[in-house]
Structure 1
Amino acid sequence: MAALEVARNEFMPPGAKASSDNPKLAECLARRDVYDVTVIRSSESLYFVSFIPKLERCGLRDVVLMDAGAVYAIDEKGRVLSVL
């Protein structure tokens, strides 16, 4: 759970806003409930946390995003090692 919280705060810092030429898309991407989140424990000291947006949760079915979401590598001390 600690790895998830560290990654979430890096990915969507409290108070941060998404930017887009499409205001509905920006509003959608700013919502935490829009993202599917997966946490994988690779070893005792390494976790991968991924965030993948599901725009249909905002009613945006015709919007195509080429590079959305992220994967974070988090160590056992809560440090972000890498972001993909």
Structure 2
Amino acid sequence: MVFPTSFKEGLHLEGPVLAALEVAMNEFLPAGTEITTTDPDKRVAQCLSKRSSYDTHVLQAGEDLFFVWFSPDLSRCGLNVPILDGGAVYAIDARGRILDRR
């Protein structure tokens, strides 16, 4: 492994954006969470229990308002199953408070 000499081409998250993302993720899928299901096939629930199964989008809508959207991508678990309501959108203020969730 060789560490990069520059992060110019990398993704840059400013502090307030990262803070809003952290608040939303900890509310949406706290570390160690396991989603339960009554379905005998547990693969979808297992996939939705992994943070790495979600794409994350952050929109800064003002100096002190952020929207964070989590949308699942089950193909990361080798599944081709439609999910109708597997994600969420959070409105987070600059103080780290969740204003709303949809």
TM-score (norm 2): 0.78
SS at the partner of 2:26?
A: helix
Return structure 1 stretches of 4+ with deviation > 3 angstroms: none
Structure 2 residues not aligned, in runs of 5+:
1-17
Secondary structure of the corresponding residue to residue 28 of structure 1:
helix
- Relative contact order: is structure 1 or structure 2 higher (C-alpha 8 Å, sep ≥ 6)? 1
What displacement does 1:73 show?
Answer: 0.2
Q: In 2, Cα distance between the equivalents of 1:56 and 1:16?
A: 20
- 1:60 maps to 79
1:47 is aligned to 66
Partner Cα distance (2:56, 2:31) in 1? 17
Larger Rg: 2
% identical equivalent positions: 51
Provide, for residues 49-74 of structure 1, a one-character-per-residue CA deviation record: whole Å limited to 9, x for no partner. Answer: 0000000010001x121111000000
Give the strand-richer structure, 1 or 2. Answer: 1
Q: TM-score, normalised by structure 1?
A: 0.94
Q: What is the RMSD computed on CA atoms of the aligned residues? A: 0.8
What's the counterpart of residue 79 of structure 1? Answer: 97
Say yes or no: does 1:2 pair with 2:25. Answer: no
- 2:57 aligned with 1:38, yes or no? yes
The number of residue pairs the alignment matches comes to: 83
- Distance in 2 between residues matched to 1:66 and 1:81, nearest whole Å: 24
Q: Structure 1: give runs of 5+ residues left out of the alignment.
A: none
